[in-house]
Structures are given as C-alpha cells and as structure tokens.
Amino acid sequence: MHHWRIDDARQTLVLAATGERLPQVVYWGPALPAQENLATLHATHAIDVTGGMLDANPDLSLCPEATRSFPGQPGLIVRDGEGTPLLPKFCYDSESNGNDLRLIYRDAANGLTLTFIFALDPDTHIITAQTVLDADAPVHLHWLAAPVLPAPQHSGEMIDFSGRWCGEFQTNRTAWSAGMRYRENRTGRTGHEHFPGLIIPCTGATNTQGEAYGFHYGWSGGHRMIAEELQDGRRQIQWGHAARMETEAATQFKTAPLYITYSPSGLNGCATAFQRHLRDRIITWPKPDAPRPVHYNCWEAIYFDHNVPALKDIATRAADLGAERFVLDDGWFGQRDDDTRSLSDWTVDPRKYPDGLHPLIDHVHGLGMTFGIWFEPEMINPDSDIHRAHPDWALGGEDQTLGRQQKALNMALPAVRDFLYDRMSAILREHPIDYIKWDHNRVLPMPDAAQTRGSYALIDRLRADFPQVEIESCASGGGRVDFGILQRTQRVWLSDSNDALERLRIQHNAALFLPLSVTGSHVGPRYCHTSGRMHDITFRAWVAAQRHMGFEMDPRELTDKEATVLRHVTAWWKANRDWMQRADILRLDSADPAVIAEQQLAADGARFVVFAGKADTSAQIAPRPLRLTALDPNAQYLISLANQQDIHHLSRGTPALKSGPVTLTGRYLMANGITLPWSFPDRMWVLEGKKL
C-alpha cells in the first residue's frame, strides 16, 4: 500500500494506491488531524459491491484506465506511431517528495511513463497538479487528463462559465445526474465561450459560507472538461487540452497546470485563493511595488481615425482627468484605415504619423503619462504586404472562413516568430514604450497546441529582452483570460463591453478567479458603443473604480459635470489603490437579486470598501439590508458612504448613514447587514469601513 498526504492549514488531500496500481484521491476536504490513519481511511473509502456489479470497483485513479474496467471516461487515450490504439496499464515505478510530490508510474509493455506532480502553496491554498506522459518511441496523443479528481458527493450542482463577445463570464449551474457534462473548447483560444474554470459548491454553499471546490486549467489553446457521474454514484473531474490538438507524434506530452482548491468559506474561499495565487505567484510584475497606473485607451474615441493633433488633445484631457498611461490602440501601422487590411505590417503609418510616433510619445511623456501600444501579433490580413510576400505563413487552408477579415499566422513556424520578434522589438527599441496591448481577435481555423506554444514562446522571448514592458491580454475583450497567458502578461481586457451594467456582472463573476490588479475596467462613452445604452457618469466611473481603472471615451465629449465626477472618482481610486490592489474581492450574498455587491477587504483586515451596484429596479420599494462578510465580529467598524453626493432627492428618509459615519460591530454588519439609501437602478453605492 502506498499513501501520500498533502496538507495546509485548511485542506488535506490524501492519495492512496492499491498495490502497484495508479493512486486515487481518497480524501480531499477540510484538514485532517495528523493522527488520521491513512490505511484505514483508504480501506473505508472503498464502496461496496452488490448484484449487477463487478467483483470489485475499479479505482477512480489519477488517470482512470480503460484496461482496468473503469466504467467512465479514461484519463489517457493514445496510439503508437503507426496509429494503433494502445491500452495502457501503469504500475508503480518511483516517487520523490521535494518542493513538490512526484509519483512516477510505468507501463513497460507499451514503453510509457506517467508522472503526476502536485504542489500545494500553503499561503494561497492552491494545489497545482500536472500530468506528464513520456514515451520510449513517438506516440500520437488523443487525450491526456491532468490528475483526475473526485467531485464531492454532498453537492447538487456545478457552476461553470460560458460567454460571448461583450458578455463574458456567464455562469451556468448544472445539476449533477448520471452521465457527464462535457465541455470542449475547439476554438484554439481560451475564448469567450468557455472560460476554463469550475466551482463545485457543496449543498447549501453561497458566496460567503459553506464548502466549495474550485478548478482552473491554465492553458490558452482550448480545453476539455469532463464532470462525470458514474453508475455507482462516484463523480470524476477531468481537465486537459482539447482532444486531438497534438498534430505530431512525440515522446513527451504535458498537461497544463491544473489549479485546484478546497474552500471552507463558500465560493469566496475559492475566489480569494485564485485571486491571491494569480497575483502573488503567477504574474511577474516588472515593478512589483508600483501602483497600477490609471489607463487611457483611445480605441472608442477615435477608432482608426488617427491624427496627431487630435490625439495630443485627447492625451492632454486624459491626463487632466488623472490618467497615467496612454495606450495607442489599433490603427497606427501599415495602411490600417479599417479592419480589412494591414495586420502583420507592423511599421508606423507615415500618412498618419509623418514624423513617426515620437512627437505623440513626447507629448504623452510631457504630461507625465507613460506610453503603450496595440499589437495583434498572431494575425494577418490577406490584404497585407506580409501575406503577399509569405502566403504560406498563414495557418489553415486557402479556403478557410476568415474572422474579422483576417487569418492567424502559423506560430509554430520559427520564421514567423522571428519575423514578429524583429518587427515588434524594432518598435520597442526605437520608442520608449512600457506597455503592449496584445490582441487576438479571431478563433483558429482548427485546434492546434503547437500554435499556443508558439505564442507563448514569442511572448517569453519579448519579455526576456524587454522586461520592463507590461503586456495586456486582449482577445476581442475577454477571449484569452487564463493563468497560462497570465504567466506572461499583467492585465486582461475583460470585455469589449464598456457598458457599466454589463461590466458590473462580468466583473462580479470574473472575481471568482481574478484580482483587481489584473482586471482592466474603463469608463466608456456616455452612449455605449456596444450596447446602445446610456449610463450616468457616476455609475460608469464607480464600476471602473472596482478594478484596474481606466478611461476609454473621447474626453472631448465630457460635460464639466462629468469631468468633475471622473476626476473625483479617479482621485478616490488613486488614494485607495495601494491597499485595494492587495485586497481580497469577496462577493456578497445579496438579499435583493437586483443588487450585485462585493466587499474588498484589505490584507490586514483593517479596512474595506463595499461596492453595491443596483443592476435593476427592486421588487420591494425599500432597500434590503446587505450582509457583509469576513469581518471581526467583536471589532467596531466606522462605516461611511463614500459617495454621499450621489444621494438622490427622491431618497427622503433619515437612515443614519445618510448624514454621516456610523460605528457598528462586525457581528451586526455580518448578521443583520447594513441598509443603504434608496437609489435609482444603474447606480452604485460605495461604502467604506475602517476597523477601530
């Protein structure tokens, strides 16, 4: 018998193997006492056998094997070099337990080796798990799962994520039942449609209480998720690259890291584990201690209509509002007057910039802002000089369906990566640029893991040579958001929707995985270009202030009142960002479905801010109390409305909060909640709290 346990203060994961067979997770949940007998635990974990069953139940192992009569989806599907299916059967080989736990299993008959790697970060509570397949001779891979985990039995449903352009991070709740929920993203890109995350709440769990299990697969090329309930009631969770994305036979394949966590504190326990792990372990920050700068992005102000005097005017106004970084979006290169041409012609357009980019950059620097620039490196328009010179660099067939009039480049080709490196590094060397907005606006013509590895290699090379340059991952908004790309980038453009109402919801759900520091959020135009809605400036500004704040409207459209509000909220954000960028974002359980609320709690617990967005009119006439979370029940908190000036005259009552700060205990704030003033829908209350 082999047993292993992985522990931190809040969770234990126990692996056990029957004889020489592959190990299975026999326990994953709250931390077990040190004296727990793992052999007994393993023996007790076995389920009974009755009529109509095999004489013993095949293990739900880290890689379930078809050859051991496992009745569900196997963890590995592989063929030899000639294409004949292999039926692997692994036996114990060796193990090591240093910084991580490595369990090595061997199938001598087929010349295959499986290595399972587990690492637990005791501070973030994230377990990173990965499977590596080595083969003595090249094999064709169809499917390789990261270490396979059991799902809890005390759970009625699972939560996963879908979405679309301008509508990212929609949650799906699916009831468990016999059979499987199978999600496969074959678009070749993380995609709006299939964010690779899963939360399994145990029965009764909410944002703030109960137990939950979280999963995230850190890969940008499209994944497969299987959540399967077997006939015997057991449940398994598998994650891996989408099937058949490996087009060549090879002697080694690896899954991406799978990030998992058990939470005893509701969905928020998963959320804060992912937020902290991403921010503190995965991202590499060029300037770790520098505050996140307020952005200005010119896309929705001018689109392709670049001209230097107008851009200078816009930059001056953006700086006056409080912007600290100016990002020049699409339209500065080739002959890019619309989205039909020039992608891959990465040289400055002399018609729009007769003296190059320097006059604009100098102007921006003169205003105290830094300068960022847009690229869409993986893409090429058929109408471009590079496509005319190298039609064979494009990925996919001649007759493929274009996306936004463009094709993807074949990033597996070293010549393509060298070309992109040369063009991009020339721009970066010639100009003082500290930021790239890296876009990826179409799906691939077919899934191909080599493409994603090629993209990663190009980013890695650029980052190695330009370590001070930060990168934002954009793909028509939130189409490439995952911990794989965020290992190489520092921000995501969460959505092309600058509609504050849409953003409120998208941000709320994305916070299950993403901290403030990486989540870009911009104040859009008064008349929203992607939804046709109009929102008051206070709502637009506060929604942006919930995350990494920026502006994207044409500042020339702002009335004096709008500019004043924007300056004020931006100043508030700057005054608070130091602690907010290290805070946990905790989703609140709102008693009113019209209210989407969160509490950002400082790392030391000494202060918090609550953003309560009213996304709809309420069914009842007066607001319901909003329960806070994770406070010290015995401490007193000084609570005040940060946006007192937004109280509307139709709010006629006299709740104490309307006229000044109040002092209440954590117990009261968590048990009863705090009642906010009445407001219109599409408004945000901002409540500040300080521990006394």
* Binding residues for ligand GLA (CB under 6 A): 299, 329-330, 339, 374, 439, 441, 474, 476-477, 493, 496
Count of C-beta atoms within a 10 Å radius of residue 375: 22
Give 461-466 contacts, CB < 8 A, sequence gap 24+: 461/417, 461/421, 462/421, 462/424, 462/425, 462/428, 463/284, 463/488, 465/425, 466/425, 466/428
* Spatial contact of 689 and 607, defined as CB atoms under 8 Å apart: yes
Of 277, 301, 345, 327, the C-alpha closest to 517 is 277
Closest residue (Cβ) to ligand GLA?
330
Q: How far apart are CA 136 and CA 134, in angstroms?
A: 7
Give me the least distance between CB of 585 and ligand GLA, in Å please: 23
Q: How far apart are CA 328 and CA 301, in angstroms?
A: 11
* Spatial contact of 223 and 231, defined as CB atoms under 8 Å apart: no
Give me the least distance between CB of 681 and ligand GLA, in Å please: 27
Give me the least distance between CB of 495 and ligand GLA, in Å please: 8
**In this complex, which beta carbon is closest to ligand GLA, that of residue 447 or of residue 477?**
477
Specify the 3-state DSSP secondary structure of 450.
Answer: helix
**In this complex, which beta carbon is closest to ligand GLA, that of residue 339 or of residue 632?**
339
**In this complex, which beta carbon is closest to ligand GLA, that of residue 329 or of residue 482?**
329
Please confirm, yes or no, whether 616 is among the known catalytic residues. no
Give me the least distance between CB of 334 and ligand GLA, in Å please: 13
Question: Catalytic: which of 107, 160, 345, 439?
Answer: 439
Give me the least distance between CB of 369 and ligand GLA, in Å please: 19
**In this complex, which beta carbon is closest to ligand GLA, that of residue 140 or of residue 306?**
306
The secondary structure element, H or E, covering residue 521 is strand 519-523
**In this complex, which beta carbon is closest to ligand GLA, that of residue 437 or of residue 505?**
437
Angle (deg, nearest 10), helices 308-321 and 560-580: 60
Give me the least distance between CB of 492 and ligand GLA, in Å please: 11
Q: How far apart are CA 135 and CA 133, in angstroms?
A: 7
DSSP 8-state secondary structure symbol assigned to residue 330: S
Pairing verdict, β 295-297 and 548-551: parallel
Give me the least distance between CB of 404 and ligand GLA, in Å please: 8
**In this complex, which beta carbon is closest to ligand GLA, that of residue 8 or of residue 472?**
472
Q: Is residue 235 packed enough to be buried (19+ CB in 10 Å), middle (13-18) or exposed (0-12)?
A: buried
Question: Catalytic: which of 434, 496, 554, 682?
Answer: 496
Please confirm, yes or no, whether 439 is among the known catalytic residues. yes
Angle (deg, nearest 10), helices 414-430 and 449-465: 30
Residue tagged 């851009």 (tokens):
311
Count of C-beta atoms within a 10 Å radius of residue 526: 17
**In this complex, which beta carbon is closest to ligand GLA, that of residue 64 or of residue 477?**
477
* Spatial contact of 217 and 260, defined as CB atoms under 8 Å apart: no
Residues carrying an active site annotation:
439, 496
